[in-house]
Structure 1
């Protein structure tokens, strides 16, 4: 199962490199696009659930790294929950195939 990393830029201009055990993230985000914080969280939760389900189907257990990554994203997003108009910018995908 191909895993990937993706880079996001938070409203304070810091960046995070995130992990997904599946390429499904590419179905939910476009590099170079901004997403309102709530929309970003909705999308990343759904994509992470799908990715984890794919791991469970293939290996018989959920992906703990995906769950840990989601916790990190949600924790970081709380820093901006009171910021009007907060958006997350998807910088790039890295599938490791370049």
Structure 2
């Protein structure tokens, strides 16, 4: 499966890299997107869960890296009070 890394910029201007075991991530977020925290949360959750499911369908086990990445991103999202702020996909 082709892996993908996407760079985002959090509202505080910190850059972060997102790992996905599948290119399905690119169907949910793409370079140039500016997404509200809520929209990003929904999209990244769907994308990484689907990516993990694709690994399961191919290899018989879910991708723990994708689920770990999702947990890490959700923990960061939880620290942001204003959910109307934007995350930029670089």
Residue of structure 2 in register with 1:62 after alignment: 62
The answer to whether the Cα contact below 8 Å between 2:19 and 2:69 also exists between their aligned partners in 1 is: yes
Q: RMSD over aligned Cα, in angstroms?
A: 0.9
Structure having greater relative contact order (Cα 8 Å, sep ≥ 6): 1
TM-score (norm 2): 0.95
1:55, 1:18 → 2: CA distance?
17
Residue of structure 1 in register with 2:4 after alignment: 4
| Greater than 2 Å deviation, 4+ residue runs | none
Shift of 1:84: 5.4
| Unaligned ranges ≥5, structure 2 | none
Residue of structure 2 in register with 1:85 after alignment: 84
TM-score (norm 1): 0.88
Q: How many aligned residue pairs are there? A: 90
Structure with a larger share of its residues in helix = 2
1:88, 1:55 → 2: CA distance?
27
